[in-house]
Amino acid sequence: MADPRLRDALCGVEAVLFDIDHTLVDTAGAFAAALRHAVTPLLGADADHDAIAAQWSRDRSGWYRAYTRGEVGYGEQRHRRIDEVLTDRDARPLDADGFAVFDRAFDEAFAAAWRPFPDAIIAVRRLRAAGLPLGAMSNAAAALQTRKLTAVGLAESVPLLATMDTFGVGKPDPRMFLEGARRLGTDPAHVVYVGDEPDIDADAATAAGLIGVHLQREHDRRFERCRPDQRRHLEVGDLTALADALALPSPGPTG
């Protein structure tokens, strides 16, 4: 049953925008697989790969966000992050050749591990069946995210509308959200944007004039939950809750 407060807050919604990584696609799982594959030759099979994956996701020096602000390149942010992992474990940072080997191994395993979240597939099916326009946005490059959506079977249902390539910067720049709404042909005030980060996704969407929703799945401990009276955004625990709140029926049996 839908949360009545969430349903009221989403009354009048005409379109939905999604973040991709950690929202539609289990990127954390893919990162873990990629790091295990690429780091094992550097630190050995006995390395604490769970801790390495957690450190990668935390990105304590903010290299990925520096990339989304246009301050460093994509390859540089990845090189800096893996060097932090290595030096924290008393290993040498990578020179250019060493990073090239790591980068190829990472990309190979990363792409092989892309999987959609089950609730994403269900929610997208329900939203599409209801006739709501859908789109995806991302702080990664368009070529990478197009491959990712295609690999998980969502490219046709959730077209990619705006990426780092669009303006040379990513979220929380308000132009990203407004461009997504524009390309859906919908007033931003009637567009839901849902993503896994409370600040650069949900709060930034709200500040841009959309309806910002923070997706925090039960197992995701990256961000502390805000008290309801401190939130600038809405919150859901999975994407089917979004479809529930929009009063959409579950799809009937197929076949």
pLDDT digits over 133-159, tens only? 999 999 999 999 999 999 999 999 999
Q: What is the total residue count of the chain?
A: 255
pLDDT < 70 stretches in the chain: 1-2, 220-232, 247-255
pTM of structure? 0.88
Locate the domains of the chain by residue range: 4-26+115-245, 28-112
Rg (the chain; Cα; Å):
19
Which residue's entry shows tokens 């990073």? 99
Q: Among the residues of the chain, which ranges form H helices?
A: 4-9, 27-43, 49-58, 63-68, 74-87, 96-112, 118-129, 142-151, 164-167, 174-184, 204-207, 239-245
- For 98-144, the pLDDT digits (tens) are 999 999 999 999 999 999 999 999 999 999 999 999 999 999 999 99
Mean pLDDT of the chain: 92
For 4-26+115-245, the fitting CATH number among 3.50.50.60, 3.40.50.1000, 3.40.630.10, 3.40.50.12780 is: 3.40.50.1000
The strand pairing partners of 213, in sequence order, are 194, 234
Predicted local distance difference test score (pLDDT) of residue 5: 83
Burial class (CB in 10 A: 0-12, 13-18, 19+), 221: exposed
**C-alpha pair distances (Å), 119 with each of 8, 23, 65, 115, 203:** 22, 10, 27, 12, 23
Query: What pLDDT sits at residue 1?
Result: 57
